[in-house]
């Protein structure tokens, strides 16, 4: 059996990422004709056209889409095996990392995380970007280094994750709200006006399912895309917000928080990254900083 040229993995990865012979050639510093020949070899080796013309563009075949999910991690593992081991000195790092997280995470854990990073690696800068959805595309593309959140159906199966902490939902109202006095049972909670945190086109949430199991219904007066907005509305009105406790600790300052009068499942907040970054020493160090910050451990000197 003949052994295929494993250098073609690099070419395949770049071609499937760029979707263009010209751009792939530029990235690999090859001529367009050389890249076209490499694509022809890949087609012969895989037995599939991989990229086919649609108008003025090239589009991937189903086989190419399958390979795109596999070739990146495979190539990353191969390069990690062949790369010499090196000892990381965080104080020598000069790098910007990007962390995709909700406003609540940044508000509550960002200061501790920056303290950890600053104590160990003064040359490292952390860029926070807002999390508007649960898709994993940015991790796969490499434009985001790390992401925090709850793993769900929108999380790509190849994404690696590590548990950061468990969280539970609590109810929150402004000081002086009727619910800030007396015992809060299911009937009192359900009778109020609520603000719902939901993405996409949802108009109900897990709390509505829990209430329905008790034969009850709540009135949702407003729907917002994040916990920061929900708490801002609750602070300035009679709306009731239902938010994760740890995730919103600082955001709830000055408001009245209460335990929910019915059982809700806990949330597991995780740290997520793409598997191609598993063996990268700087990335592993950064993941450790996030874990330590969320655990409340002091930064190392």
Centre a 10 Å sphere on the Cβ of residue 53 and count the other Cβ atoms it contains. 9
Q: Is residue 250 within 8 Å of 108, Cβ to Cβ?
A: yes
Q: What percent of the chain has pLDDT over 90?
A: 49
- pLDDT, tens digit (0-9, with 9 covering 90-100), for 101-159: 988 889 889 999 999 999 999 999 999 998 766 677 788 888 899 999 888 766 777 88
CATH topology of domain 90-167+268-295: D-Maltodextrin-Binding Protein; domain 2 (3.40.190)
Residues of the chain with CATH 3.40.190.10: 90-167+268-295, 169-265
Number of H helices, E strands in the chain: 10, 12
In this predicted structure, the answer to whether residue 299 has a pLDDT above a threshold of 60 is no
Which contacts qualify for 287-291: CB closer than 8 Å, 24 or more apart? 287/146, 287/162, 289/113, 289/116, 289/117, 289/120, 290/99, 290/109, 290/113, 290/146, 290/148, 290/164, 291/162, 291/164
| Residue ranges matching CATH 1.10.10.10 in the chain | 8-82
Q: How far apart are CA 263 and CA 261, in angstroms?
A: 7
Is residue 187 exposed (0-12), middle (13-18) or buried (19+ Cβ within 10 Å)?
Answer: exposed
CATH code: domain 169-265 is: 3.40.190.10
Task: Give the model confidence (pLDDT) of 195-236 as tens digits.
Answer: 999 876 778 888 999 999 999 999 999 999 888 899 999 999
Q: Does domain 8-82 have CATH number 1.10.10.10?
A: yes
Residue 300 has pLDDT above 90, yes or no: no
């Amino acid at each position: 059996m003949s052994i295929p040229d494993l250098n073609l993995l690099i070419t395949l990865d770049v071609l499937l990422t760029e979707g263009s012979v010209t751009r792939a050639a530029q990235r690999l510093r090859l001529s367009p004709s050389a890249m076209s020949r490499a694509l022809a070899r890949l087609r012969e080796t895989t037995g599939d056209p991989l990229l086919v013309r649609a108008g003025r563009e090239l589009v991937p075949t189903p086989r190419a889409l399958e390979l795109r999910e596999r070739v990146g991690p495979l190539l990353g593992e191969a390069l990690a095996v062949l790369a010499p081991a090196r000892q990381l000195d965080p104080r020598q790092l000069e790098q910007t990392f990007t962390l995709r997280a909700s406003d609540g995470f940044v508000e509550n854990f960002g200061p501790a995380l920056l303290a950890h990073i600053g104590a160990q690696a003064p040359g490292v800068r952390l860029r926070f970007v807002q999390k508007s959805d649960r898709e994993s595309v940015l991790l796969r593309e490499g434009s985001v280094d790390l992401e925090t959140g709850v793993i769900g159906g929108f999380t790509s199966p190849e994404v690696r994750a590590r548990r950061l902490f468990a969280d539970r939902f609590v109810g929150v109202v402004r000081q002086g709200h009727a619910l800030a006095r007396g015992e809060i049972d299911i009937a009192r909670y359900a009778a109020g006006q609520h603000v719902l945190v939901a993405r996409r086109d949802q108009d109900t949430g897990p709390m509505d399912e829990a209430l329905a199991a008790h034969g009850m219904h709540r009135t949702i007066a407003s729907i917002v895309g994040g916990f920061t907005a929900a708490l801002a509305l609750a602070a300035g009105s009679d709306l009731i917000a239902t938010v994760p406790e740890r995730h919103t600790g600082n955001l709830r300052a000055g408001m009245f928080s209460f335990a929910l009068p019915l059982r809700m499942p806990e949330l597991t907040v995780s740290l997520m990254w793409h598997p191609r970054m598993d063996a990268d020493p700087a990335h592993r160090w950064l993941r450790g900083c996030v874990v330590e910050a969320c655990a409340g451990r002091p930064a190392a000197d």
